[in-house]
Every structure is written in structure tokens, then in C-alpha cells.
Chains A and B, each alone.
Chain A
Amino acid sequence: MRRVAVIGVGVTKFGRHERTSAELFAEAAADALADAEMPASRVQALYYGNVVGGETEKQLHTGPQAASVLGIPTVPTTRFETACASSHAAFRHAVMEVASGASDVVLVGGAERVLNVPTTDSTEYFAYASDASWEQTLGLTFPGVFALVARAHMHKHGTTEEQMAAVAVKNHRHGVLNPKAQFRKEITLETVLSSPKVADPLKLYDCCPFSDGGAALVLASEDVARTARRPIWVLASAAASDWMLLGDKRDLSRVPATERAAAAAYRQAGIGPQDVDVVELHDCFTIAEIVATEGLGLFEPGAGGIAAEKGWTSLGGKIPVNPSGGLKAKGHPIGATGAAQICEVVTQLRGEAGARQVEGARRGLTHTLGGNTATVLVSLFGRD
């Protein structure tokens, strides 16, 4: 297999947009091609993530639509749907296309538009990623899924609501430093703890927002990447799945798919969690960040809450997590999130992250979770 590099990245501002998801993707993709100094005519395929376009935009076949709006209508295009991990799944498959030798230059990205519908509608559409017969019938929501995880984690490890709130405070602090973030406002523990309950014990400020946005990146084979100004190498890209039904998961305080995907990624790259300098992970809810830091091996099981409370995951801490502000503050346009996390880690490894730069970062990790914890992708990146 050939080495693969990311040679260009582009992300829209996250938040509310009066444009279609295809337009949002196209802006990000044109920025990524310009960043790579790569003409669109050299793109040989598009791997695309979009989740609820069928509901919020009454739009299926979003892959070729996105390619057409970008202006590359004839390249082979496939849309991936693995709930909130969609564009990270697209990325993994695109890496395999380039590594195999089938293509030299491939575009990856995703976009989502949800703020054009009421919150009760988007809550319902997101719930379609849980089981229709067993879970949607009960009125289970995604905050509800992670509330079940939170209760189990609190019961098993003594994790507190204050420790979860510390994740939100930290990610909002980081988001202030990111011009593309949806929220650029510091909050306090009290802001989180006194916010309205959504699904006990999770409160409004434990939850990431609904967001519109797009993200894209350009992948290249080693030969092409050597001519690029600052390639960032893909050291590994791994996926894992788990039981669809929450009831079939033996221990709700853990996300086994994270543990399996991380183990596979570390094995591919020949490195371990101690070798990672910067992490962008899936903090769709504050408890999700705590459980992910444990599943990725950054902290022992049960120590994720303590790490958040002590500031070990802050910029300047032991291992900075979500310097972009994470899903919590940067925003979570679900089809774009995986690609956007990769764009952030690439920017960090180039040393171009400005006020939120992790000094001297050489290796980075991205982690994206889909739906009811049944899909996880983990990728690792390194600079020369």
C-alpha cells in the first residue's frame, strides 16, 4: 500500500447558513483545492458525507449534487452515511483508494444543513440513527443515549456533573480562539449546571448544538504529496462497529467501538496513545468526551472525568483535546464533522492554528462516533 497525505483543507464557518448543504460543501472544497494548490481537473473521485439531507432538504443523491455544485460533475462520487461519523468513514475509504494505487488525488468532505427546520424536527431526524422498532418507538433521543452512558459512568466511576461541565467550559474556552466556531463565548461551570435539563443528567450546555456547515480535504499519493508545500501524512485510519441496540451493549459506561478502532489505528501506525500530541474527538455530549479520552487510552477507565476537572485536556495541559472548540463550541454539522476534525488536526500539525496552536505538535488523532455508539472511526496523522 502507498503512503497517503492530506495536502489541502477547507472548512466553512459553522452555525446558521442560508445556503444548501451542497453549496456549503462546495465552498469548503474550493478552499481545500486552493490550499493544496491543486486544480479541480486533477480530482479523480469524491467521497462525501451527508446524513439527514433526505429529511431537512428533501434531497437524496447528495454526492453527485455536491460534485456538480463544486464544478466537478463527472468524477465518481459516493455518499457515505454512518450517522455523525459519515465524512470520517468517507475519509477512510478515500485513503484506501489512494493507498491502493487506484487514484492519486481524491477529494473528501461532507456537509449538513439542519437549522432550516425546528429543533423538534431535527431531534426526530437525528433519532432515526437509533433502532426504529426498539428505540425510536420509546421516544429515545441522542441526548437520551448519552444520558444512559453518563448515568452508568457516574455509577461505576463516581464521575460528577461538575466534571462533565468542565468539558463544556474547556471547549468553549478553546472555541473563542477559533474564527470558524459557532460559539465564541466563554462560559462557567455555573452556566452549564444551571442550564435547562434535556435528558437527565445532561443539561443544555452538556450538548453540542445543531449546526450547518461544510468541510473538505484533498488527499494525495506520496508522489503527488512530495510536490505539495506541507503534506501531513495519514499514519492510520481504522473503523469499528458495535451492536445497534443499546440493550445489547453489556456495559453502557464504555464505548467498545472506540476501544477497538483506537487499537487498530495504533497498530497500523506503530505508535501508542503516549505518542499523540493533539486530539480532536467526538464531544457530541460532555460525557462523550470523557468516555472517549478513556477509550482512546489517553487516561485509565474512570479517570476521564478527573482529567477534565484538572485541566489535563486543555490547551497547555498534558494532552490537549479539541483545541478547535470541539463539537460543543465549534459546532456539529453532522455530515461535515469527521472531515472538519481532520482539517483541524492537519492545521495543528502544520503549525498554522494561530492562537489555539498546540506547540510543537508532531502527531495528531481524530475520533468520530456515529449514532448510538455503533460506529467509530479513529485516524492518526503525522508531519515529516
Chain B
Amino acid sequence: MTESTVTLGRFFAAAREGRLTAIRCGGCGALAVPPKELCPECGARRWEPVPLSGEGTIASFTVIRVAPRGHADEAPYAIAAVRLREGVSLLGRVVDVPLDSLAIGMPVRFRPIVVKDRPAIGFGPRQP
């Protein structure tokens, strides 16, 4: 067995320090969000870590107003699906953007955040 090049633990440890990491397939070149053992495109088991720019645009978004018990004190908060420049997408909290100005296509940049003591993906505003 070979250990996946980027485990969830390593991904979020790096994300906490401001670095986003994807994995690229050594077989076909497909880019993916870790962790994955086999390439969903070609089935190969050779991944290399690839740094991501963190720059992207909002593909869809919502404002959560009725939150789960563990996040009730944080509502309302925005969550967006962000398409990154490199072609992969991540879900994240959108911070420092007025909730009523959120829009599909809005440029955003990755920002490490901590939610309830756990590292998480955040996005802040970016000049296009």
C-alpha cells in the first residue's frame, strides 16, 4: 500500500497556513480534490500534489439562516461553491462580503478560516 500523497489531515494542515493543495494524476494529468486513492478518469494510482492559486469565481451560493445546532450562533452565514482558476471547485464560507451583494460570477480568493476550532475553507473578496 502506498499512502495517498495528500491526506485530509495534510490538506487541512496546509490550508490552515494559507496553502490550498490539489492532486494531479500521474497517469492522465487529471486534477482532483484530495483525498482520492484512484484516478476517477483513468484508474491510475499515482498522484502528485499541486499548489492551487486560491483564486476563483462563485458558481452558486446561499445564505444559511436556519443553522444546525453546532452553528446556530453563527447564522446568517454565506456558503458558496467556488470554481477555482485551475478547474476544480470547493465549497467554502464567504467572508467580508455583504450578504446582499453575493452573485454568481463574483471573483473571490481563498482565505483560511477556523469554524468551531476546526480548519475550514473560506473565501474573501478579490479584485477581478
Q: Taking beta carbons and an 8 Å cutoff, which residues of A are in contact with B? A: 118-121, 123-124, 127, 133-141, 143-144, 147-149, 151-152, 155, 196-202, 245-250, 252
B69 and A139 contact, CB distance less than 8 A: no
Contact of B64 among A120, A136, A196, A199 (CB under 8 A): A199
0/1 string, B81-106, CB within 8 A of A gives 1:
11000001111110000000000100
B8 at interface (Cβ–Cβ under 8 A)? yes
Which residues, 60 to 119 on B, are CB-close (under 8 Å) to A?
60-72, 74-75, 77, 79, 81-82, 88-93, 104, 115-116, 118-119
A380 to B89, CA, bound (A): 35
| A351 shortest CB reach to chain B, Å | 41
Let me know if B120 and A137 touch, CB within 8 A. Answer: yes
Contact B65 A155 (CB under 8 A): no
Contact A137 B115 (CB under 8 A): yes
Contacts of A199 in B (CB 8 A): 62-66
Contacts from B to A (Cβ < 8 Å) = 8, 12, 33, 59-72, 74-75, 77, 79, 81-82, 88-93, 104, 115-116, 118-121
The residue on B at minimum CB distance from A202 is: B62
Chain B residues, Cβ within 8 Å of A134:
90-91, 121
Closest to B67 in A: A139
A240 CB to nearest chain B CB (Å): 15
A151's partner among B61, B116, B118 (CB-CB below 8 A) is B61
Known contacts being A148-B62, A252-B60, is A141 close to B67, with CB within 8 Å?
yes
State whether B63 touches A197 (Cβ < 8 A).
Answer: yes
Q: Could you tell me if A148 and B69 are in contact, using CB atoms closer than 8 angstroms?
A: no
**Closest residue on chain A to residue B114 by CB atoms:** A137
Contact B81 A247 (CB under 8 A): yes
Q: Which residues of A contact B67 (CB under 8 A)?
A: 120, 123, 139, 141
Q: Contact: A148 with B68, CB < 8 Å?
A: no
Query: Are B120 and A138 in touch, CB under 8 angstroms?
Result: yes
Q: How far is the CA of A147 from the CA of B80 in the complex (A)?
A: 10
Residues of chain A within 8 A of B33, CB atoms compared: 245, 247-248
CB closest chain-B residue, reference A143 = B66
CB-based nearest B residue for A148 = B60
CB distance from A314 to the nearest CB of B (A): 29
Residues A139 and B79 in contact, CB atoms below 8 Å apart: yes
Chain A residues, CB < 8 A from B116: 137
B68 touches A141 (CB 8 A): yes
Report how far A355 CA is from B35 CA in the complex, Å.
52
Closest approach, in angstroms, between the C-beta of A156 and any C-beta of chain B?
Answer: 9
- Contact: A123 with B118, CB < 8 Å? no
**B81 to A252, Cβ gap below 8 A?**
yes
Residue of B8, B33, B81, B93 with most chain A CB atoms under a 10 A cut-off: B81
Taking the nearest CB of chain B, how far is it from the CB of A248, in angstroms? Answer: 6
Q: How far is the CA of A185 from the CA of B119 in the complex (A)?
A: 45
Residues from chain A with a CB closer than 8 A to the CB of B120 are: 137-138
Given the complex of chains A and B, what is the CA–CA distance between A148 and B69 in angstroms?
21
Q: Is the CB of A124 within 8 A of B64?
A: no
| Nearest CB on A from B16, distance (A) | 12
Instruction: Report the minimal beta-carbon distance from B10 to chain A, rounded to whole angstroms.
Output: 12
Q: Return the chain A residue nearest B120 by Cβ.
A: A137
Q: A137-B116, A139-B93, A247-B89 are in contact. List 8 more A-B contacts (CB 8 A).
A: A120-B69, A120-B72, A123-B69, A144-B62, A196-B65, A198-B65, A199-B62, A250-B89
| B70 neighbours in A (Cβ, 8 Å) | 124, 139
Tell me whether A252 and B68 are in contact (CB under 8 A): no
| Known contacts A247-B89, A247-B91, A138 near B79 by CB under 8 Å | yes
Partner of B8, one of A121, A133, A139, A246: A133
Q: A120-B68, A152-B59, A252-B59 are in contact. Are A139 and B115 (CB under 8 A)?
A: yes
Docked-complex contact B115 and A198, CB < 8 angstroms: no
Q: Does the CB pair A124–B65 fall under 8 Å?
A: no
Question: In the complex, which residue of chain B has the Cβ closest to the Cβ of A147?
Answer: B62
